[in-house]
Structures are given as C-alpha cells and as structure tokens.
Amino acid sequence: MTLTVAHISPIISVIAGLLILIMPRLLNLIVAIFLILNGLIGLGLLRWLHL
C-alpha cells in the first residue's frame, strides 16, 4: 500500500478516536491538534513529508 496525503487524514482520525476512547479528558487537545493538522494538510503546507 502506498501512503499518500489522502490517507493521512483518515489515519489521524482513527488515532484521535482511539485516544479519545482511552482518555476522554484529552478531547479538547486532540480535536485542536486534529483540526490544525487537517488544515495544514489541506493547504498543502506539509509537503516536506514527501508523501
């Protein structure tokens, strides 16, 4: 399987969901990080990942 930018958002979502299930107190932090990363990926600012 080839990992592309299109795969990063669902992977982040799964990881965030698992962390929220394990530690619900982290909800605000996890959502904030997810939104920031998702926005950066959407704007193409994370091209240095070479994916």
Q: List pLDDT tens digits, range 9-51.
A: 788 888 888 888 888 888 888 888 888 887 877 777 766 655 5
Helix (H), strand (E) counts: the chain? 2, 0
Q: What was the pLDDT predicted at 46?
A: 64
- What pTM did the predictor assign? 0.58
Contact criterion met (CB below 8 Å) for 3 and 50 = no
pLDDT at position 10, please?
84
CA–CA separation, 4 vs 28, rounded Å? 27
